[in-house]
Amino acid sequence: MPHCHTSIETLRRRGYRITPQRALIIEAIAHSCRHMTAEEVFARVQQRTPGVNIATIYRTLDFLVKEGLAHRADLGSGQVIYATIQHGPHIHLVCRQCGTVIEADEQLIAALRVQLQQQYGFAADLQHFALSGLCRDCQERFETEQ
């Protein structure tokens, strides 16, 4: 997954500085096919270059999200997860009762995306996000208990 270079070039073109820390962090999330927590990125970066500070990890991940090169999602697990924009698009359905996570197809929100753009001029980040609610089992439990 050599998408690191794409991201790095994009940032350079936009006038940002490419520091070793940024390159390492971009490489870390580009090489993971899954989501990563800030701590996981930190551990991987430390392996190669000890001395990078955890605050830099957080700052850089947030910077990449702001630049549209990474996604952030809070599934309510206590730690936020990050992924590259290459991470296949999908929605996480998180049950607020039991914590179960269902992965849903992002096609579901294709229509919503178009409407938000047309009615509000808002380009929503819907490639990778979390929705809270009740899973089937917990709905049934709620109904029987009233």
Partner DNA sequence: CTCCTACCTGCAAGTATTCGCAAAAGCAAT
Partner DNA sequence: ATTGCTTTTGCGAATACTTGCAGGTAGGAG
> What would the DSSP string read from start to end of 17-61?
---HHHHHHHHHHHH-SS-EEHHHHHHHHHHHSTT--HHHHHHHH
Whose Cβ is closer to DNA: residue 38's or residue 85's? 38
Shortest spacing between CB 52 and a copy of itself, in angstroms: 24
Q: Determine, following the binding rule CB under 8 A, whether residue 17 of this chain makes contact with a copy of itself.
A: no
Whose Cβ is closer to DNA: residue 79's or residue 116's? 79
The CA-CA-CA angle for residues 125, 91, 33, to 5°, reads 90
Q: Determine, following the binding rule CB under 5 A, whether residue 95 of this chain makes contact with Zn ion.
A: yes
- Name the token pair of 114: 């178009």
Phi, psi of 77 (to 5 degrees): -85, 0
Q: Determine, following the binding rule CB under 8 A, whether residue 68 of this chain makes contact with a copy of itself.
A: yes
Q: Is residue 10 a contact partner of residue 16, using CB atoms and an 8 Å limit?
A: no
- Residue 16 binds which entry of Zn ion, a copy of itself, DNA, none, CB below 5-8 Å type-dependent: DNA
Which amino acid is residue 118, in one-letter code?
Q
Positions in the binding site for Zn ion (CB under 5 A): 95, 97-98, 100, 135, 138
Q: Which residues bind a copy of itself (CB under 8 A)?
A: 13-14, 65-66, 68, 72, 74, 93, 95-97, 102, 104, 108-109, 111-112, 115-116, 119-126, 129, 131-136, 139, 142, 145-146
